[in-house]
A = this chain, B = another copy of it.
Amino acid sequence: MPIVPMLLSRRLRASPYEQRVLEQGVQVFTLYNKMTLPIVFDDMESDREHLCEHVQIWDVAAERQVEIVGRDALQLVELISPRDVSRCDIGQCMYAPLCDENGGVINDPIVLRLAKDRFWLSIADSDVLLWVKGVAYGRGFDVDVFEPDVSPLGLQGPKADNLVADVVGEHTRDIKFFRFIETTIAGTDVLLARSGWSGQGGFEVYLQDSNKGLDLWDVFWEAGQKYNIRSGGPNFIERVESGLKSYGSDMTISSDPFEAGLEKFMNLDKPAEYMSRDALAKIAKTGPKKRLVNLIIGGDKLDSPRNTWKVLDASDDEVGIVTTQVYSPKFAANIAFAIVDADYSSVGTTLTVDADGEKRAVIVHDTQWQGSA
């Protein structure tokens, strides 16, 4: 993919950790929710290696929060998701696709339940705040919907547990996956959740005062020296290896949640009203027309392109598009996600892709990349 110079005007919001990220030698940024998100420090491959062995500190302030609080908060959160959010405990994180009245995926946030009538949606890259505000206004709900001053800091990698135990206490080892506690670190109140955008384990620390960002960073940075801590960010290679989809690439408002493989995060028969019920019931009956699948792409090690590669059948007719592709050192293969016609989505199906003019053979793989190494 091309890397181009980008001007950091004030419209592209700064993270409270930005100063440290620049000092620690960020090489490449992306923009996410109109905020800078550092993604490469050394290079993608060595960042990935380090992440899988040690612990990294990630500026993921760009995971913005949408707070929904008030008498109708649960009713509103239920309305916008096909998942049964009433089952979410206080202190729990729940991955919940948001779907509009056509069944289109608006975002795939993690819902954090802070109180009976208070939620945060920890969002992917689309402006959920405005959508939820519009729905709340239109329905006349008794809620406040706003973006609070919350900036997550990621601690990812196999040594994250030791680091967090050193800094916060041994009790943090007992925090279960997708659960959070309220605590104080570096003199500032945070939520500490076992979650994060990698498959390597770790925590996300929800800073609630952007003036304390550098203090929070420094506490983990200093304590992390003995664990060979480095700055990092969501890693393009590792996330595909770990099967993590990215909203905006692998699914969009044109996707339905069946196509996107989100069946297990839906409760279509849940008692509460939700706006996508009719649309999703219809798709559930027939099955989705397309499926997001894993692909192994043959040929030489690929460079991830800017262009969208078409997936072709034996007659060279287009049957899908590649949404993400990267060379995986772990599997010594070119691995990819693609949206293809459902007829071509079975594991083992062989197809080709038009790789910027060069035909490459591809095979639909299982979602865990089993047996691909």
Q: Which of A24-32, A50-58, A150-158, A194-202 contacts B (4 or more CB under 8 A)?
A: A24-32
Q: Report if A105 contacts B (CB, 8 A).
A: no
Interface residues of A in 98-120 (CB under 8 A from B): 100-101, 106
Q: Are the CB atoms of A248 and B34 closer together than 8 Å?
A: yes
Q: Note all chain B residues with C-beta closer than 8 A to A324.
A: 10
Q: How many copies does the complex hold?
A: 2
Q: Note all chain B residues with C-beta closer than 8 A to A127.
A: 126-127, 130-131
Q: Are the CB atoms of A28 and B6 closer together than 8 Å?
A: yes
Partner of A6, one of B4, B22, B34: B4
C-alpha gap A14/B306 in the complex (Å): 8
Q: Report if A128 contacts B (CB, 8 A).
A: yes
Contact mask for chain A residues 1-14; partner B; CB cutoff 8 A; 1 contact, 0 none: 11111111111101
Q: Are the CB atoms of A306 and B27 closer together than 8 Å?
A: no
Contact mask for chain A residues 177-192; partner B; CB cutoff 8 A; 1 contact, 0 none: 0000000000000000
Q: Note all chain B residues with C-beta closer than 8 A to A139.
A: 138
Residue of B nearest to A304 (CB): B9
* Residues of A that sit less than 8 Å from B by CB: 1-12, 14, 18, 22, 26-31, 34, 36, 39-40, 100-101, 106, 125-128, 130-140, 236, 246, 248-249, 275, 304, 306-308, 323-324
Q: Are the CB atoms of B31 and A5 closer together than 8 Å?
A: no
Q: Are the CB atoms of A133 and B133 closer together than 8 Å?
A: no
Q: List 17 A-B contacts (CB under 8 A).
A: A3-B6, A4-B5, A5-B29, A6-B6, A7-B40, A9-B30, A9-B304, A14-B307, A34-B248, A100-B137, A127-B127, A131-B131, A131-B133, A132-B134, A134-B138, A135-B135, A138-B140
Q: Are the CB atoms of B133 and A136 closer together than 8 Å?
A: no
Residue of B nearest to A246 (CB): B11
Q: Are the CB atoms of B10 and A249 closer together than 8 Å?
A: yes
Write the nearest CB–CB distance from A263 to chain B, whole angstroms. Answer: 24
Q: Note all chain B residues with C-beta closer than 8 A to A134.
A: 130-138
